[in-house]
Structure 1
Amino acid sequence: MKFHFLVMFVCTTLFVAAQQKPNIVIIISDDHAYQAISAYGSKLTKTPNIDRIAHEGVLFKKAYVTNSICGPSRAVLLTGKYSNKNGFKDNENSSFDGSQNTFIKELRKSGYLTAWIGKWHLETQPQGFDYWQILPGQGQYYNPDFLTMDGGQKKTAGYVTNVIEDVAEDWLNQRDTAKPFCLVIGHKATHRVWLPDTSDMGMFDSINFPLPGNFYDNYAGREAAKVQDMTIANTMIMGYDLKMFSTEKEENGDGNIKRMNPAQRAKFDAYYQPIYQDFKARHLTGNALSEWKYQRYMRDYLSTAASLDRNIGRTLDYLDKHNLTNNTIVIYISDQGFYLGEHGWFDKRWMYEESFRTPLMMRYPGVVQSGMVNSEFVMNVDVAPTLLDAAGVAIPKDMQGESFLPLLTDVNAKGREAMYYHYYENGEHKVSPHFGIKTKQYKLIRFYKRVNSWELYDLKKDPNEMHNIFNQKKYEKIESDLHHQLLQLINKYDDDDARQVLKIKLAMEPQSF
């Protein structure tokens, strides 16, 4: 009898101890701009469910990424290491080495159930997860295929954002409730080609969005910006991007549309075909055409984001309904920022603010006060150590990120003085590889390969980064100081690629301008 009681006591104690570890839900969107989130003050749209995470937790006003492109961003988040250390530098030549350590593996070793559902985009199969079901590559918006753990591939009827949420809830329903869990929900939205759910088509058609003030940027003094190929005016494709197909044959040949079932296709045609007929009758050219394309882009992009926000609401409602809210950390983050017409652009990649900065918010009941706003520098490389810190798991010494939990719980904690960035890809959109440093007031960038140049910005005087002040005499001292700080960060993160560009070894003499 005593032995039976002892066994029950030990089992109960272990169960309670396990449940004291916080559950974790990480929601990662794709290309979702902070400018399109009302918690950040956006006037373009309302995002009540994403905002709820911020209102019930903390909104990070100065969150950034180490490398603004989707695959590398996910690798950074998983490993807590910069791209040069985790090996996934770009989407063109990299595949993720799943044998390396990740925060997921550390959580699993400490007793967590782990799952990744949705967009993965790391070229290799996930490792370290109890469960995964992922989109192949970028995935599709309608009736998406999923890769499964048994090596199979299956097509699931529906709109991808809804389907990913369905699968996530199914996993939560079937999990072992005696263990804490870490679930990553990877959404495809709002990645190009911004294809909304049929229920959201047209929801912004009555709105005429104001042009960004630098929509007609001429890129004076910025050589890398001059050679890029990511403008709404010249790069955005009428059919592929904006669904303006000149013939039925052209429309039928589009892979996104071919996946639709008859009901979905009928709703698609009923919405987009009248828009195309009206467009054709206008005979637009020049700036009028560019501005028409901008309006269509914004309407499709924000309509696609509407489903994202709605399904994030479903996640939060699920946690409420199943009494999980009070012991679950919820993080919302995009894989990077995105351009909504600033500089005339769409896409990402740059160290300029709209691309470099990302939305990030976290709800952690009992630890993080509701309604907090944090303005310290934090980065996506910090997510892994932060979650291990919250779970009471030792942070591996080779993780380069820093837990931002102290910034939320200790009034004396100090954040970074400066951030380091490195973008490697030298292909799509002709964005030149570059690295650089951002401080509270300045940003220094070194472009290489496609363009070899330096850029310097005074962010207080020039927050839109329109005036490159590099090599101006009155900024000589600032340039020297920033260059020294840049070299320190290159050495801190052991970025040998940057060292080679600057033709330096481990020394930090500022001789390489």
Structure 2
Amino acid sequence: MADDHASHAMSCYGSRINRTPNLDRIADEGMRFDNCFCTNGICTPSRAAILTGTYNHINQVTTLATHMDNRLLTYPKLLQEAGYQTALFGKWHLGQGPEHEPTGFDDWRVLPGQGLYHSPVMIDSAGQRVHVGYVTDLITDMSLQWLKERDTSRPFCMMVHHKAPHREWQPDAKHATMYEGEEILEPETFNDTYENRSAAAGAARMRMEDLQWKDLKADVPSGLSPAEEKSWRYQRYIKDYLRVIASVDDGVGRLLNHLEEEGIVDNTLVIYTSDQGFFLGDHGWFDKRFMYEESLRMPFVLRFPREVKAGSTCDDMILNVDFASLFLDLAGVTIPDEFQGRSFRPLLHGERPEDWRTSMYYRYWMHGDGAHNVYAHYGLRTHDHKLIYFYNDGCGQKGSGDETHPPEWELFDLQADPYEMCSIHGNADVAGVQSSLTDELHDLQAQLQDDRYHLDT
């Protein structure tokens, strides 16, 4: 799993700006899911949802400032109890100390917080020390060493959690000059003016002008017009973002090669995903958080030769809360009743259960934080529409700001307006659709045991 890897920065998803040959191997030899979504588009909450199979109002990890109670039931604990060897290397980001450090793993070595790209400190059960080298290579090296030294008579589950491509996008020497002399094409929505939407889009501080020196690693050249400076900033950002992805792709290739050398490809499930999506200049932004497509959508490619036909794709909706149930199902371990996600094993065979979901629920809690200023919101996405309610209140959540704003709604027709440029909420000609989606949103909230905002009546 990577951190902040947008699916539209993977060539198997049709990226127009980079190539990821080793990640593509997983898709080409397995299945690509085209509608995988997160339920809260920010690192810590999404990771908690993946581990526990529950939404954040249930696991209580709602913001970056709320850490996971390591007594919670997770799929690694259940696999460990079932006899699996379990290991975790890389980013944890769910808190440190006795109450938050990893549990359910035979071996683990993680970065404190975000960690560093170069010669990072890493923590394990014995303490912490500096590991000299580049973080993506180090995590890959640790994973390969563990694979080679494990008990080959027992099944295993290994989580390889890369820091990249998280901000501040520091490439290794091998990829430092990649894309030099090239001009990366700006996205169609790069010069979005945030008209025809709620105030939240215009208030967010994730524009190119909000990139800092530590992101750009150079002073802005003098004499540039505002438009030229914006483009210059984009080129500095996007090239480093793609460079750190190239190192992840290399590391994935090394792991895939090892599985082949060991002769365990057919019996090993390999998954590549990210904790959420990311804006790659889309709407003029970097970062994530919003329920808009580029942030909401997660890459998810899977290879499992004994069950999955090579080169297959799936358009059905899967969510980060589903991952745990799938893993347990494939391992033959009973899925706990408290897990809110659902195994999508039938989808691996091209079989869609009649009652499979046609809509999903999202909630972003970290209102008006000091850095990005994205307003709190929740919403519903179907295959054709997206309804978002910006309730614009931190509700006392840790890491949220105290300032509130009047609530606003947005509604998008995803077929007619795939880039979500014009909200049609309140338009008379969609009144019936709007009413139906609002009812469905409230029904789904009740089903998932989440409370609607008190002004949402």
Residue 302 of structure 1 corresponds to 242
Distance 2:362 2:420 in 1: 16
Distance 1:49 1:186 in 2: 16
Distance 2:447 2:182 in 1: 48
- Residue 131 of structure 1 is aligned with which of 103, 107, 111? 107
Residue 48 of structure 2 corresponds to 75
Q: Deviations over 1:396-443 (max 9, x none)?
A: 011010111111225352431101001101213000011000011110
> In the alignment, does 2:395 pair up with 1:419?
no
Distance 2:261 2:455 in 1: 54
> In the alignment, does 2:183 pair up with 1:240?
no
Secondary structure (helix, strand or coil) at the match of 1:486 reads helix
Residue 400 of structure 2 corresponds to none
One-letter identity of the residue aligned with 2:431 = E
- Whether the aligned pair in 2 keeps the contact of 1:490 and 1:499 (CA below 8 Å) is no
Distance 1:32 1:501 in 2: 35
Q: Deviations over 1:100-121 (max 9, x none)?
A: 1011111111110111110000
Q: Deviations over 1:127-174 (max 9, x none)?
A: 111111000000100001100112x11101110000000111111122
Distance 2:419 2:157 in 1: 38
Residue 40 of structure 1 corresponds to 13
- Residue 389 of structure 1 is aligned with which of 329, 336, 355? 329
TM-score, length basis structure 1: 0.84
Task: Please give the residue correspondences for 1:195-344 in structure 2 after superposition, counting only pairs within 5 Å.
Answer: 195-222=170-197, 223-232=199-208, 234-237=209-212, 239-244=213-218, 280=221, 282-344=222-284
Aligned in 2, Cα 1:148/1:445: closer, same or farther, shift over 3 Å?
A: same
- Whether the aligned pair in 2 keeps the contact of 1:31 and 1:335 (CA below 8 Å) is yes
One-letter identity of the residue aligned with 2:86 = T
Residue 156 of structure 2 corresponds to 181
Q: Deviations over 1:178-226 (max 9, x none)?
A: 2100000010000000110111011111221222122111111221101
Distance 1:56 1:30 in 2: 23
Displacement, 1:324? 1.8
Distance 1:96 1:117 in 2: 18
Residue 493 of structure 1 corresponds to 448
Distance 2:435 2:230 in 1: 41
Distance 1:296 1:286 in 2: 15
- Whether the aligned pair in 1 keeps the contact of 2:169 and 2:240 (CA below 8 Å) is yes
Secondary structure (helix, strand or coil) at the match of 1:331 reads strand
Distance 1:285 1:133 in 2: 47
Residue 20 of structure 1 corresponds to none
One-letter identity of the residue aligned with 1:293 = R
Secondary structure (helix, strand or coil) at the match of 2:210 reads coil
Residue 192 of structure 1 corresponds to 167
Residue 408 of structure 1 corresponds to 348
Displacement, 1:326? 1.4
Distance 2:158 2:306 in 1: 20
Residue 3 of structure 1 corresponds to none
Residue 416 of structure 2 corresponds to 461
Residue 35 of structure 2 corresponds to 62
Aligned in 2, Cα 1:410/1:306: closer, same or farther, shift over 3 Å?
A: closer
Distance 2:224 2:76 in 1: 52
- Whether the aligned pair in 2 keeps the contact of 1:161 and 1:307 (CA below 8 Å) is yes
Q: Deviations over 1:307-357 (max 9, x none)?
A: 010001011111111112111100100100000101000000000000000
Larger radius of gyration: 1
> In the alignment, does 2:416 pair up with 1:442?
no
Residue 149 of structure 1 corresponds to 125
Secondary structure (helix, strand or coil) at the match of 1:430 reads coil
Residue 22 of structure 1 corresponds to none
- Whether the aligned pair in 1 keeps the contact of 2:10 and 2:20 (CA below 8 Å) is yes
> In the alignment, does 2:23 pair up with 1:53?
no
How many residue pairs align between the two structures?
A: 437
- Residue 379 of structure 1 is aligned with which of 319, 343, 349? 319
> In the alignment, does 2:57 pair up with 1:116?
no
Query: Structure 1: which 5+ runs fail to align?
Result: 1-27, 246-278, 503-511
Secondary structure (helix, strand or coil) at the match of 1:397 reads coil
Of Structure 1 and Structure 2, the greater helix share is in: 1
- Residue 84 of structure 1 is aligned with which of 57, 66, 69? 57
* Structure 1 consecutive aligned stretches of length 4 or more whose deviation exceeds 4 Å: none
Identity over aligned residues, as a percent? 43
One-letter identity of the residue aligned with 1:342 = D
One-letter identity of the residue aligned with 1:470 = H
Aligned in 2, Cα 1:143/1:115: closer, same or farther, shift over 3 Å?
A: same
- Whether the aligned pair in 1 keeps the contact of 2:119 and 2:134 (CA below 8 Å) is yes
- Whether the aligned pair in 2 keeps the contact of 1:202 and 1:299 (CA below 8 Å) is no
